[in-house]
Structure 1
Amino acid sequence: MKFGNIAVPMKPFRFRKYWEKSRLIECSNTKMNRNEIEKKRRINLQSSVFEMIRLRDLLIQYDMYPFISEGTLLGWYRECSIIPHTQDIDFALMATEFNPKFVNDMREGRTNFKLTRRRGGLDSLELTVTPRHGYKLYTNVFFMYRDKNETGGNEFNWISGLCDDGEKIRFNFPLLEPICSADFHDHLVWVTCDPKKAIIHEYGEKWYEDLKTNNYSRYESANNVERNVGRYSSWELERVTFEDGYEYH
């Protein structure tokens, strides 16, 4: 809205969030040496980007501001795209932004996306969502927590993992804020302002080498995994997990 020559954002909180994340950074566009079979995509690129942006916009409506993470961050930074053999998309959110209405609305059918899987409680949450109609793309939504190192007192971010037997896992990262902007197939997405640092921390110094999805175990292959940080009992596990049509392919 305008007051004379002064324009004031209708939603100042959201405008401030956009402004804070507005610095544009570029991907490295590393040349990958793949044969024709390896170049074949597991998920459709155009449809995946479309659904990814739809979910981004939906999350913003709940004042949650997703940034790409994990394999999606690696694909964007390394190849300026989605890794051909990847099977899903990875978003992350700062846990302080969590809005439970988003989950409730998905469960009640009030959004264009549905909750396919939930793992963990509010202190270790991970969601997987898919479009209610259209192209069936799995998107993991990780909630990023903040903690301090017990020895040095340095702060770090982490997301949770949960094994089928109830073992709690952490994936630790250097602090990912501030967040910047990036071009993702002509769409705006948010990324950590130092993607290479985060990628090396998770994938190691040879992050530029392709590692097939079928040969990659998130709980075993990642450099930043911390095992046995806790355990749910079988009763607790039933209360903090939910699946509805989740078929990881």
Structure 2
Amino acid sequence: MMQRINKNVILAVLTAASSLFLLFQLYYFKYYISTKNGPAYSKLKGSFSSQESAQWRVVKNFLGLVSSHNVPVYLVDALVLNLLDKDLEQLRSSPDSAPSECQYFCKHRDVTTFALLDKIWEHKGNLFRSAEKMGFQWQKYEGKDPRLEGMDDLSGTEIPLHYIFKMAAHTIHLVVFYERSGNYLWHGPLRLKRNMDKKFAPFRKLQFGRNAGAYNRAELLLITADGLKVQIPKEPAQFLKEMTHSEFLECRYKEARAFFQLYPDDISPEGIEFRKKAKSLLHLTAFTLDTLGISFWLSSGTCLGWYRQCNIIPYSKDVDIGILIQNYKSDIIPSFQKTGLTLKHKFGKVEDSLELSFLGDDDVKLDIFFFYEDDDYMWNGGTQAKSGKKFKYLFPKFTLCWTEFVELKVQVPCETLNYVEANYGKNWDVPLKIWDWKSSPTNVQPNGMWPVDEWDNVIQLY
């Protein structure tokens, strides 16, 4: 009898203890967790996994951390921005409405990415001490400051390029942007040094850092999403478009210095004056084409000058750019004429071998070569005015990257060496002052002749 009573008592005690523990959990969630996570979190009616709610809390903790230290970060995460962009009008019109479910920051992913403009932040250790107290682990990734490099000084100065904050199973990637002299924002690559933990974060899944990148300045918009106040680019779709072609190539100052040791630079008054005029023409060209929404890249001798000597070749006497033929617009010619340039010649037609040449008041020529794409290569055409002969210049297929050239953010072929070698051969690094456009390029080939009855349209000299 006594044994039976003891069993009943024990069972009752265990049942009461379980009930009390359950009540304690409910109380703890209601009065601690929901308060800690903010009222918006408790109003989310949708259901999501503990992993998804955990990553929301990590993002919230990070935003709270940077806000308490006045570090103005903004969201650059492609996955989240894409979701926000679809609902942007609704988020703008009802900024304070309580969310019905966690729609953006609870979507499963391993990393959430933010950006920071370096000049508006002081590198204070308090932020990182606070991060550690909150439970974050963090790492800083540095690299050389390209803004201090030049022909006279190869800087070894290190600057912070990326920060990784990690809590639980979620990673916050903070990308540091810097202002460059071409009036754009730049971020560096993320490179792990030999002694760094390669398993600290899912580095292969980072959206930024595989290469350096260049972006236009983005106007920011403060929104509330999933109960979190966060700054985003005002035009998310435009920023996402930039992300797809943001790769940046730095000028090769080290190689340029070696080049000038073999072939001293032209510092004559004539050479200096030409470079000044060519720089002005290139800036005018970029402004005019940007107004038209037409992208271009440095081509021919101008591209060679950037790649070989980080400057305009003083004896080239012109500025060369390339444009994809599908980007041609009929108002290119009148737009350049409005800037004061005069049309020197127009060769070819949109369907075949189009080429435009303009002349400025200072006698520096702008040559625009339109590129066509075939299955295995890309090409631009040339025309000999007196004979009607056509020429074709073949290039391996290439993509476009940004660079900084004569204080201008401008595009060049990413596969620059292949591009330059196609045009100038393996000895591209040896200067040639005598150049015949019909026979000197290693990638030129005959392309027939224009029919005589088309000459008035395809050979226009002014």
TM-score, normalised with respect to structure 2: 0.46
1:236 and 2:437 correspond:
no
Deviations 1:47-102 (A, max 9, x none): 21022111111111112111001011111111111112111010001111111122
Q: Distance in 2 between matches of 1:238 and 1:18?
A: 44
1:145 corresponds in structure 2 to: 372
Q: Distance in 1 between matches of 2:427 and 2:404?
A: 24
Q: Matches of residues 33-182 of structure 1 in structure 2 within 5 Å?
A: 33-34=262-263, 41=271, 44-106=274-336, 109-122=337-350, 123-131=352-360, 134-148=361-375, 155-164=376-385, 165-177=387-399, 179-182=400-403
Q: Distance in 1 between matches of 2:319 and 2:243?
A: 22
Structure 2 CA distance for partners of 1:81 and 1:115, relative to 1, 3 Å: same
Displacement of 1:236 after TM fit?
A: 1.0
Check the 8 A contact 2:378/2:394 in 1, yes or no: yes
- Greater gyration radius: 2
1:217 corresponds in structure 2 to: 436
Displacement of 1:22 after TM fit?
A: 4.0
1:25 corresponds in structure 2 to: 250
Displacement of 1:42 after TM fit?
A: 8.4
Larger deviation, residues 231-240 vs 3-12 = 3-12
Gaps of 5+ in 2: 1-218, 224-230
Gaps of 5+ in 1: 149-154, 245-249
- The alignment partner of 1:175 has SS state of coil
User: Over aligned residue pairs, what C-alpha RMSD do you find?
Assistant: 2.6
Percent identity, please: 23
Deviations 1:227-246 (A, max 9, x none): 1x2211233122112222xx
Displacement of 1:3 after TM fit?
A: 5.8
Structure 2 CA distance for partners of 1:210 and 1:116, relative to 1, 3 Å: same
Check the 8 A contact 1:43/1:87 in 2, yes or no: no
Check the 8 A contact 2:356/2:367 in 1, yes or no: yes
- The alignment partner of 1:139 has SS state of strand
Q: Distance in 2 between matches of 1:36 and 1:25?
A: 21
Q: What letter corresponds to residue 232 of structure 1 in structure 2?
A: W
Check the 8 A contact 1:38/1:85 in 2, yes or no: no
Check the 8 A contact 2:266/2:314 in 1, yes or no: no
Q: Distance in 2 between matches of 1:170 and 1:127?
A: 15
- The alignment partner of 1:171 has SS state of strand
Q: Distance in 1 between matches of 2:311 and 2:414?
A: 17
Displacement of 1:12 after TM fit?
A: 2.8
How many aligned residue pairs are there? 229
1:198 corresponds in structure 2 to: 419
Q: Distance in 2 between matches of 1:82 and 1:66?
A: 17
Q: Distance in 1 between matches of 2:330 and 2:237?
A: 21
Displacement of 1:17 after TM fit?
A: 5.1
1:226 and 2:454 correspond:
no
Displacement of 1:185 after TM fit?
A: 2.3
Q: Distance in 1 between matches of 2:265 and 2:412?
A: 30
Q: Distance in 2 between matches of 1:36 and 1:21?
A: 32
Check the 8 A contact 2:438/2:444 in 1, yes or no: yes
Structure 2 CA distance for partners of 1:21 and 1:54, relative to 1, 3 Å: farther
Check the 8 A contact 2:282/2:319 in 1, yes or no: yes
Q: Distance in 1 between matches of 2:265 and 2:420?
A: 26
